[in-house]
Homo-oligomer: A and B are copies of this chain.
Amino acid sequence: MFEFLHQKVNETINITDEEFEYAKTLFIPKKLRKKRFLLEEGEPCIYTTFVEKGLLRSFTIDEKGNEHILQFGMEGWWVADLYSFLTGEPSEYNIEALEDCELLLITKSSWDLLLDEVPAFERYFRILIQNNLIATQRRLMGTISTTAEERYTKLLHDFPRISQRVPQHMIASYIGVTRETLSRLRSQMTSG
C-alpha cells in the first residue's frame, strides 16, 4: 500500500527504512469513489492527500456558478487546499474524485510531527512545494501572456492523457475559457 509513496519519496530525498516506517504510521488510507468529495468549500481542509491511484480535481465555484479548476491531482501527486490546511481556516476549494481513488491522508498535527521528527521530510515537502511553485508560476505567466489555443496545446503536451480522462468542460475551466470557446477551438484545430 505504501510502495508508491516510498518510491516517490526515494526519488527526491535520502531516507532510511526506519524513517519511512515511522512515516507510514502517520498516514490514513482511504478509498474515495468517483464523484465523491474529499473536501467541500467552507469546511477546513484537515488533510493533505497523496494520490496512489485515480484522479481528483480541486476547484472553486464563483458567484455566477462557474467552476474554476486549480489543479488536477493524478497518481503520485498531492492535493489539498494548502492555505486552509496550514491555518485551519475554512477552505475556498472543493476537491472531488473524477475517478475511483486510493488515497493516503495525513492530518496537520501528524504532518507537523513528521517534519519535526524526520528532517528529510521537511526537505521532501520543500522540494515538492518548490516544483509546484515553478509550475504554477509558469501557468500564471501563460494565462497572462498567451492565447487560449496556446494554453490548450501546452496542456495536451504536458498531460497527453488528460483529455481521455476528464471531460472537455473541465479542461476549458482549467485553461480559463468557457466550454463553448474550447469546443470551437478544437474544431478549428482539427479542420485547420
Contact = CB atoms under 8 A, between A and B. Distances in A.
Contacts of A133: 82, 129, 132-133, 136
A117 to B, nearest CB: 12
A83 interface: yes
B129 A70 contact: no
A81 to B, nearest CB: 9
A60 B92 CA distance: 30
Contact of A70 (B60, B66, B86, B137): B137
Interface of A is mostly: helix
Nearest to A176: B144
**Copies of this chain assembled into the complex:** 2
A30 interface: no
Interface string A112-136: 0001000100110110011011101
B141 A144 contact: no
Nearest to A125: B126
B82 A141 contact: no
Contacts of A86: 130
Contacts of A132: 133
Q: Please give me the 8 A-B residue pairs with the lowest Cβ-Cβ distance, nearest first.
A: A144-B176, A126-B126, A133-B133, A68-B145, A140-B140, A119-B119, A136-B136, A83-B134
Interface of A: 60, 62, 66, 68, 70, 82-83, 86, 115, 119, 122-123, 125-126, 129-130, 132-134, 136-137, 139-141, 143-145, 176
